[in-house]
Amino acid sequence: MKLADLDIIVTAPPAPGWGGRYWIFVKVTTDTGITGWGECYASTVGPEAMTAVIRDVFARHMAGENPENIELMFRRVYSSGFTQRPDLTVMGAFSGLEIACWDILGKDRDRPVHALLGGRVADRLRAYSYLYPSRPSHKLPEFWVDADMSAESAIDLVEKGYTAVKFDPAGPYTIRPGHMPSMSDISRSADFCKTIREAVGDKADLLFGTHGQFSTGGAIRMGQAIEPYSPLWYEEPIPPDNIPEFAKVAAALKIPVATGERMTTLAEFSMALRHGVTILQPALGRSGGIWQAKKIAAVAETYNAQVAPHLYAGPVEWAANIQFGLSTPNLLLVETIETPFHAALVRNTLKVENGYVLAPTGAGLGIDFDEDLARAHPFTGDGLHLQMQESPVSYHERNIFEGGAPSKD
């Protein structure tokens, strides 16, 4: 069996658009006619340029190869052009293609991917969700800075069975280096934690999200303000380009530090573990794929650390996260995005029940991908999947930030 053909679909989710402006799906077919699906979580260049990168990586390093030889193909890509170091764009391309290889291998053997990764260690996975608007009264963009609305959304998730909720009221992430948060951002963040904690009590963990926007000192100030409400984690408090600084943040706080959505390959995650990070959040469509994620989780075990794969993408990366999670003993949580479009793209083969993701029953990734639906929603915009704010944070006026891919009307 050899990898033979590649097709790429760039899909734009309809409103509300949770998961980014577009998703890049890859369809890989073998010479025996088996099709595998993957998703590339990479957005440093636009979709047209990214499509060219994906085609180049496939043609140069994977076409004609046995899909079993994942380690060999990874080494080719990781070493491409005399590099051997993390590269978000190239490794993002490979990651989606690698996921497709696992889908192929599972279908060829009529087994779910987790059965090929050491087998299942759980029958269901504890899940969390961002706090999205859940009631007619939750209007945008005000929702993102209103603690009472977010608390109502948290209550709605708890009633659905969720035992962890994530929110990020800490102000904008910008193209500038890490900044000192404004006092209003600190006050709002503490108010969010207090209000949501009072609303859910001990029925749910609080996951405090940021996007690497703070200086080291600023991250410590923000962390100390929210510490009384016992968040389960403090996510990406500083930019990912200076990993040793995480040690200072971790040492100054009692909150577990989490990071990883912008990191790629084992080298960066290993360094994060050495500098105080205790929860790793690889995005499998960027961090090297499923096999590299298994390596990352194994190294985390030696630090008594846990993994919680990141998801701000489409349902194919979600499916990869689930197969990875089912076979990973030090899994903490998996992220979900429950929208009708996510569900429809995989014909409802991924299910969340009472706050847990159920193990898919099908072969490969366990999804039934609706190719026609994906093609019926092409991306026609000019933005990237996510974008950072160019203007600096305000210290005079209230910061209202909708995220890097604002929802559509």
Q: For residue 244, what is the domain's CATH number? A: 3.20.20.120
Residue 52 in domain? no
User: pLDDT grade, residue 2 (50/70/90)?
Assistant: very high
Enumerate the active-site residues.
211, 310
For 304-354, what is each residue's pLDDT tens digit?
999 999 999 999 999 999 999 999 999 999 999 999 999 999 999 999 999
| Structural domains counted in the chain | 1
Q: 137-141, 194-198, 355-359: which has the minimum mean pLDDT?
A: 137-141
Angle between helices 315-326 and 290-302 (to 10 degrees): 40
Asked whether the predicted pLDDT for residue 406 surpasses 80, the reply is: no
| Cis omega (within 30 of 0) for bond into 329 | no
Residue 43 in domain? no
Q: What pLDDT does residue 405 have?
A: 58
Residue 16 in domain? no
Residue 336 in domain? yes
pTM of the full structure: 0.96
Q: Which domain holds residue 351?
A: 115-365
Residue 121 in domain? yes
Residue 358, beta-bridge partner list: 124
Q: Within 13 Å of residue 209, how many CA atoms lie on the same side as its CB?
A: 22
For 63-92, what is each residue's pLDDT tens digit?
999 999 999 999 999 999 999 988 999 999
Residue 63 in domain? no
CA pseudo-torsion sign 291, 294, 295, 296:
positive
Start-to-end CA distance of the chain, whole Å, equals 46
For 139-159, what is each residue's pLDDT tens digit?
988 999 999 999 999 999 999
What percentage of the chain reaches a pLDDT higher than 70?
98
Phi-psi region of 212 (alpha: psi -120 to 50; beta: other; left: phi over 0): left
- Given a contact cutoff of 8 angstroms between Cβ atoms, the answer to whether 293 and 334 are in contact is no
- Given a contact cutoff of 8 angstroms between Cβ atoms, the answer to whether 57 and 92 are in contact is no
Residue 42 in domain? no
Q: Tell me what the pLDDT averaged over the chain comes to.
A: 95
Q: What is the maximum span of the chain, computed from C-alpha positions, in angstroms?
A: 63
* Closest to 207 in 3D by CA, of 226, 182, 224, 184: 226
**Rounded mean pLDDT, 32-46:** 95
Backbone angles phi, psi at 29, to 5 degrees: -125, 140
Q: 254: Cβ–Cβ under 8 A, 6 or more apart, which residues?
A: 227
Residue 83 in domain? no
Q: What pLDDT does residue 397 have?
A: 84
The one-letter amino acid code at 8 reads I
Q: What pLDDT does residue 86 have?
A: 87
Q: What pLDDT does residue 407 have?
A: 56
